[in-house]
Chain A
Amino acid sequence: MPITYDMMKRATAQLYEWSLRKVPDDTLDALRRAREVETNEVARRTLGILLRSAEMAETQDRLVCSDSGVPNYVIGIGTGVPLEGDIKRAVSDGFDELVATTNPPLLKHVTNPLTNERSYRGKEMPLVTWDLIDGVDYADITCQPKALGSGRWAAMEIFTFPTLEMIERYVMECVLKAGSQHCPPVNIGVGIGGTFDYCAKLAARATLRQYGTRNPEPILAAMEERLLAAVNATGFGPMGTGGDTTALGVHVEYAAGHGFTPVAVAFNCWINRRTRARLYGDGRLERIE
């Protein structure tokens, strides 16, 4: 049975609604663990406030943050499932319908970058990264609404044949520049290699990894671990008012390239907004997180 326009429209809108209300479980666990080991009292209390806010949003069906961001999806279509209808249009129609019906209503965050006018619609919205997944009979849909608070601190630089030391120094420079401002404790995604555009995607993809996971490449697994310790040694702390917990995880992804090596760094705020589900041809929407 095919995935239809209606199914995709409903699924993408549903994932957006979920993502605004539910802080992912791995993130809640990481926040709780951080609160146990945090040595700064204000930071410990702040982590407690963040956890309380997350709990209220989840149990009372409320928005965690007033900034619902812009709709941003990664959609992997299984090669084993047929499609029916305008699947791309379904995502934007789904967002239009969500805006018209969701309760409480969302603020207007979609911004025309040429005029700075804000509304619910805009060129190329929602932002979707399409991919294919060989051999499965579902579409894997991730919704990751992005907002200015953490989004504005992402950065990229292109090196030539960098050493690991140069890469790590650049990540730390980005961390210092963001300082107290990206609603820490953050999830840091780093992309290394590929091309300019591909590298940015790698960093974004890295921010979707669950806390506690390590890159299977041993060089990167070790880098993730030491960078996390380095970031937390800066002392910016929860909400940037001081403490041991500036990041809950550093995730690095890489792709082969050609000697000119882009390094991209992206941040998710403490909410770590991310909802993921599998949509099957029989209409089932299996929520993964």
Chain B
Amino acid sequence: MEEEIRRLRMPLSEGDALSLRAGDMVLLDGEITITAGLPTHHRIVEVAEGRREAPRDLHGGSLFHLGSYSRETEGGGFEVLYMNPTTSTRFNPLMPGLIRHFGLRAVGGKGGLDAACVAALREVGGVYLSFVGGGAPLLSDAIRAVVSVDWNDLVSHYRLVTLRVEELGPLTVGIDAHGNSLYGSLSETAAARMPEIMAGLARARAEAEAEAEGSA
């Protein structure tokens, strides 16, 4: 039988963040903040540098690389029709600064972040959570309420959106707060296996050639 997946309350407490290990699977309940936009990240950097007013306080919270379709409702509020992760690595240059400045306990998206981000997460006690790409129906069903939609001058997926979610996931801890990164270790393992993999290809080529000669 499959093990029960652990549920975590957002914003993540320091204790919960530190208790996670790379490879754990989790479900989230509570408030999360998302965006899929590079221009949005530039604005958050401006907030960190005191050059722009923050639409909401990000300190100690989460920032996930998820794009969403939001639109205004008749009552003047917002609804979010669907959401899904985007590739995190394109935010690599900006994330260490944001993780440190805001003390982000949880970041995430898909594909992971680089070694500089792993170091920053370790420093502040934060984790990176991997969302499944192409998981829009599943992930969107976890939305319980739209808390805020900011920077509406941007295209929908670039807006800064805060949601209340229930049982969001399952998500995989890709990078933990102790310096362990599945992405880093898998890349290293794959690179280390390359000589063996190439040797395997050479053997298979020789077999295929021998077979072709045999049948000729």
Chain A positions near chain B (C-beta within 8 angstroms): 42, 45-46, 49-50, 52-54, 56-57, 60, 62-67, 104-105, 107-108, 118, 148-149, 152, 164-165, 168-169, 172, 176, 179-183, 218-219, 222-223, 225-227, 229-230, 233-237, 239-242, 269-271
Contact = CB atoms under 8 A, between A and B. Distances in A.
A86 to B, nearest CB: 30
A28 B191 CA distance: 30
Interface string B50-68: 0000000000000000011
A61 B184 CA distance: 37
Contacts of A227: 201
A236 B174 CA distance: 12
A50 B134 contact: yes
24 contacts: A49-B170, A53-B137, A63-B82, A66-B69, A66-B84, A104-B81, A107-B69, A108-B157, A148-B87, A164-B205, A168-B201, A172-B201, A180-B186, A218-B208, A223-B208, A226-B204, A229-B200, A233-B196, A233-B197, A237-B186, A239-B130, A240-B110, A240-B112, A241-B130
Interface residues of B, number: 53
Contacts of B87: 148-149, 152, 181
A66 B83 contact: yes
Contact of A45 (B25, B81, B189, B202): B25
Contacts of A269: 133-134
Interface in B185-199: 186-187, 189-191, 193-194, 196-198
Contacts of A164: 205
B197 A45 contact: no
A235 B189 contact: yes
A158 B132 CA distance: 34
A144 to B, nearest CB: 15
B137 A57 contact: yes
Given A165-B202, A235-B186, A66 B82 contact: yes
A165 B201 contact: yes
Contacts of A50: 132, 134-135
Given A66-B68, A66-B136, A169 B198 contact: yes
